[in-house]
């Protein structure tokens, strides 16, 4: 047993003993006619409260000190384990079920947006000389001054040939950057040793520009990934330094900053300045961006030069070779002969079909099983209709959804037409973009986040509800001038409070997976429950409903202590979304948790009020003959009161379960989106069907748009 646990148990025993002793002495004093009985009882209650508060604080402080003793490297191992679990849950993240999957090739950047390898080695040498340490002999010697390879080779290149650990990955839209980053993370996790740095993908697009600085935001992202990083680091890192901040400062977290091109131009330059300022800390990192957006951030606004990322090498993704593209297309039955002759050329179709995304869209839209009547792949060669690569890409995006929804799946009931599916997916994409300020940017469609509203709707709703609450108070003050100042003050307070709450919502709760004991929140509620039970017993004793004996106080104190412990300690557990789960299984777990939580609260409310009324009913039984009320009438009245209490308990339980789980919010989201005709009412069934059709992909317990470009197209983004 830990020292903090022994302290808690000791102080709880002291508190319980003090409370029982005070009530026994109070009872004895009243029997003997002593005047100090009530004073002694109050002192005993005060002593019990102090002991319980001390025990609670000792438990919290002991747990915090115990967490401090854990080395920082253990937290890095925990983060790496989380990333590995995520990879295992999403091992088919980018698998297209092909016999010949496309492999992304890359080479050193030749546009001058980064340092060459000799310059990178010089920067690393200055780092080592500044630290007065000899060069590391563990890394293999660098060979050559050029970088080239494909697929998972990038992890080995980053580890063995880039001594600074800083890398910039440049690629056009749809060129396969996301696939390459996932393979890089998987490779670095395989190379990682216990206690070493852990590479973590951090989506830069969700960074609020008006919020905290980059380091503080990355620490907050790590805490969302692993909540235990909120605890304090060992004292040698600072008195009140969180583990997430210490991991970043010590270089035990290597950020893989994805979505750099999604930031505005000014923010991209600010991020580069922040990274440059971290040169002194020799922090390794990986940055992923499109070439044009990265060039705008690197080049000075006045054209005086370029501000390159210090110590960073860069690779650019190469187009898919014509032979690989042809082999990829021919995996599906179709008339690909005409297109094959144009692959690898400078024509619009040759330029467009040089990226994995457009090849996937083309193969899906023009395979023979999904081909529309009168259409053929040869129509893509019409230069009058498709004058450039952008026009052809837009056409492929437009043809994608009708192709995948042309055939109804056998288990789909009812069938969704292509028009209805297109309307629903476009609405979900716009809704995802509008709620990015609350849930962060990205391509995911988590069902427990679909209830959030966009800023415009939320602003209108905040004004409407706040005015509806405040205006009645203001009107009551106008009708009665005597209370006008207080009514005006109340209306302003209600309006401001409601407006502030509705305008700035939180991210909300995630799915729950059953109920469990939260031991750290039990001592104080149990203590207050015991005191409340003793006070309730005293009320019944004074009313003559209970005998003036210690057992009455003990029974009520124990009963209410148990109720207090259950109310605050028996709470939903957060579901582990990194385990092999599906969105449907998470929803089912959350629904079961909702029912269990509602049943628990119903029993608690019913039992509490029944125990309060039971002594009065019991004491009235001997007087029934005097009142003329029969046992049948009393039993009927008790049953009615019990049903009323049970109904009240069910209402309270429903509210408590709604607030502590996510399925209630999702039900409202389905109802709201469905009644307006924007999405089907059976929204999760629709998302699962879209996943099987290839529009969405499943990553653990959430769905994602197959590609960020698909989400941008559906949301009509520029």
Region class of 645: left (phi > 0), else alpha (psi between -120 and 50), else beta: alpha
pTM of the entire predicted model: 0.74
Residue after which a domain boundary falls, among 488, 503, 518: 503
346 and 294 within one domain: no
245 and 340 within one domain: no
List beta partners, residue 570.
517
The upper half-sphere exposure of residue 127, i.e. CA atoms within 13 Å in the direction of its Cβ, equals: 20
How does DSSP assign 412-473, residue by residue? -SS---HHHHHHHHHHHHHHHHHTHHHH-SSSEE-GGGTT---HHHHHHHHHHHHHHHHHHH
499 and 393 within one domain: no
The pLDDT tens digits for 218-272 are: 888 888 777 778 887 887 777 778 888 888 888 888 889 888 888 877 778 888 8
Q: Which of 452, 420, 435 is nearest to 686 (CA)?
A: 420
pLDDT band with cut points at 50, 70 and 90 for residue 304: low
The upper half-sphere exposure of residue 561, i.e. CA atoms within 13 Å in the direction of its Cβ, equals: 18
Distance CA 33, CA 28 (A): 9
Domain that holds residue 250: 101-317
What DSSP designation does 93 have?
A: T
468 and 390 within one domain: no
Which pLDDT does position 442 carry in this prediction? 64
Least confident piece of the model among 3-12, 275-284, 624-633, 673-682? 3-12
Decide if 379 is inside a domain: yes
Decide if 42 is inside a domain: yes
Decide if 363 is inside a domain: yes
45 and 187 within one domain: no
List beta partners, residue 258.
203
Could you tell me the CA-to-CA distances from 557 to 20, 246, 537, 611, 613 in Å, in that order? 9, 46, 8, 12, 16
Decide if 645 is inside a domain: no
What DSSP designation does 372 have?
A: P
Rg (CA), the chain: 33
The better pLDDT of the pair 628, 698 is held by 698
Distance CA 627, CA 124 (A): 96
Helix, strand, coil % over all residues of the chain, rounded to 5: 65, 10, 30
353 and 312 within one domain: no
CB 27 within 8 A of CB 550: yes
Decide if 582 is inside a domain: no
243 and 115 within one domain: yes
Distance CA 78, CA 195 (A): 10
Which are the contacts of 503, defined by CB distance < 8 A and separation ≥ 6?
Answer: 458, 459, 462
Residue with structure tokens 């499109």? Answer: 290
The predicted model gives 3-20 an average pLDDT of 54
Distance CA 573, CA 26 (A): 42
- As a three-state string, the secondary structure of 15-65 is HHHHHHHHHHHHHHHHHHCCCCHHHHHHHHHHHHHHHHHHHHHHHHHHHHH
The predicted model gives 541-545 an average pLDDT of 75
Distance CA 695, CA 428 (A): 13
238 and 122 within one domain: yes
The pLDDT tens digits for 554-595 are: 878 888 888 878 877 788 888 776 566 788 888 999 999 999
CB 367 within 8 A of CB 333: yes
Residue after which a domain boundary falls, among 48, 69, 90: 69
Residue after which a domain boundary falls, among 265, 297, 317: 317
Q: Which of 318, 251, 288, 94 is nearest to 186 (CA)?
A: 94
293 and 247 within one domain: yes
Query: In 3-state terms, what secondary structure has residue 509?
Result: coil
Distance CA 242, CA 233 (A): 5
Distance CA 523, CA 53 (A): 8
Query: In 3-state terms, what secondary structure has residue 131?
Result: coil
Decide if 139 is inside a domain: yes
pLDDT at residue 507 tops 80: no
396 and 305 within one domain: no
Q: Kindly report the CATH number assigned to the domain that includes residue 237.
A: 3.40.50
pLDDT at residue 155 tops 70: yes
204 and 228 within one domain: yes
The total number of structural domains that make up the chain: 4
Hey, which of 448-457, 603-612, 622-631 has the most confident mean pLDDT? 603-612
353 and 261 within one domain: no
The pLDDT tens digits for 396-426 are: 988 888 888 876 654 555 567 888 899 999 9
Decide if 135 is inside a domain: yes
Structure tokens at 55: 């025990």
Task: Quote the strand ranges of 472-537, DSSP E.
Answer: 512-517
Distance CA 661, CA 231 (A): 25
Distance CA 119, CA 108 (A): 13
Decide if 13 is inside a domain: yes
Distance CA 317, CA 319 (A): 7
């Amino acid at each position: 047993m830990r020292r903090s646990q022994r302290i808690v148990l000791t102080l709880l025993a002291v508190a319980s003993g003090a409370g029982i002793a005070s009530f026994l002495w109070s009872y004895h004093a009243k029997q003997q006619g002593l005047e100090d009985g009530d004073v002694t009882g109050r002192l005993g209650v005060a002593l019990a409260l102090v002991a319980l508060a001390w025990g609670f604080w000792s438990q919290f402080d002991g747990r915090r000190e115990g967490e401090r003793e854990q080395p920082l490297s253990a937290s890095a191992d925990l983060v790496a384990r989380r990333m590995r679990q995520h990879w295992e849950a999403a091992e088919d993240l980018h698998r297209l079920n092909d016999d010949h999957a496309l492999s992304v090739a890359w080479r050193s950047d030749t546009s001058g947006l980064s340092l060459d390898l000799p310059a990178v080695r010089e920067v690393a040498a200055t780092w080592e000389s500044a630290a007065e340490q000899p060069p590391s002999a563990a890394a293999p010697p660098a060979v050559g001054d050029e970088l080239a390879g494909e697929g998972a080779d990038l992890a080995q290149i980053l580890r063995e040939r880039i001594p600074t650990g800083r890398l910039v990955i440049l690629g056009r839209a749809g060129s396969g950057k996301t696939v390459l980053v996932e393979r890089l993370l998987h490779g670095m996790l395989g190379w990682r040793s216990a206690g070493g740095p852990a590479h973590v993908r951090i989506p830069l697009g969700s960074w609020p520009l008006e919020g905290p600085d980059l380091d503080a935001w990355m620490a907050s992202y790590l805490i969302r990934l692993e909540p235990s990083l909120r605890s304090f680091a060992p004292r040698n890192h600072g008195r009140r330094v969180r583990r997430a901040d210490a991991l970043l400062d010590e270089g035990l977290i290597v950020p893989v900053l994805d979505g750099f091109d999604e930031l505005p131009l000014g923010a991209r330059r600010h991020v580069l300045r922040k990274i440059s300022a971290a040169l002194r800390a020799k922090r390794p990192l990986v940055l992923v961006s499109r070439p044009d957006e990265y060039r705008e951030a690197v080049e000075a606004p006045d054209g005086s030069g370029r501000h390159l990322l210090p110590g960073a090498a860069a690779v650019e993704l190469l187009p898919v070779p014509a032979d690989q593209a042809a082999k990829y297309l021919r995996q599906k039955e179709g008339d690909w002969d005409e297109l094959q002759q144009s692959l690898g050329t400078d024509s619009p179709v040759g330029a467009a079909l040089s990226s994995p995304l457009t090849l996937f869209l083309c193969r899906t839209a023009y395979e023979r099983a999904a081909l529309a009547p009168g259409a053929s792949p040869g129509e893509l060669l019409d230069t009058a209709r498709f004058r450039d690569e952008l026009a052809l890409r837009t056409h492929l995006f437009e043809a994608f959804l009708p192709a995948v929804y042309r055939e109804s799946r056998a288990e789909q009931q009812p069938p969704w037409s292509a028009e209805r599916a297109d309307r629903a997916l476009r609405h979900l994409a716009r809704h995802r973009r509008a709620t990015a300020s609350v849930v962060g940017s990205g391509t995911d469609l988590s069902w427990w986040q679909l209830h959030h509203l966009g800023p415009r709707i939320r602003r209108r709703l905040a004004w409407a509800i706040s005015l509806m609450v405040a205006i009645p108070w203001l009107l009551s003050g106008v009708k009665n001038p005597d209370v006008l100042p207080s009514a005006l003050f109340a209306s302003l307070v209600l309006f401001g409070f409601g407006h502030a709450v509705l305008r700035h919502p939180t991210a909300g709760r995630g799915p729950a997976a059953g109920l469990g004991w939260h031991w750290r929140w039990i001592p104080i509620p149990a203590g207050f429950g015991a005191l409340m039970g003793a006070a309730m017993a005293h009320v019944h004793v004074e009313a003559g409903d209970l005998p003036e004996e210690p057992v009455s106080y003990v029974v009520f104190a124990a009963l209410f202590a148990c109720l207090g412990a259950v109310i605050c300690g028996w709470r939903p557990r957060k579901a582990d979304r990194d385990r092999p789960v599906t969105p449907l299984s998470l929803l089912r777990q959350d629904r079961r948790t909702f029912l269990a939580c509602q049943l628990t609260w119903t029993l608690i409310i019913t039992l509490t009020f029944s125990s309060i009324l039971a002594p009065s009913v019991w004491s009235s039984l001997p007087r029934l003959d005097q009142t003329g009320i029969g046992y049948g009438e009393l039993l009927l009245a008790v049953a009615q009161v019990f049903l009323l209490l049970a109904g009240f308990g069910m209402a309270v339980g429903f509210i408590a379960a709604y607030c502590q789980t996510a399925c209630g919010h999702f039900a409202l989201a389905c109802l709201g989106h469905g009644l307006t005709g924007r999405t089907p009412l059976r929204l999760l069934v629709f998302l699962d069907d879209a996943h099987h059709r290839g529009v969405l992909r499943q990553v653990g317990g959430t769905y994602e748009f197959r590609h960020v470009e698909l989400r941008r197209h559906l949301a009509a983004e520029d």
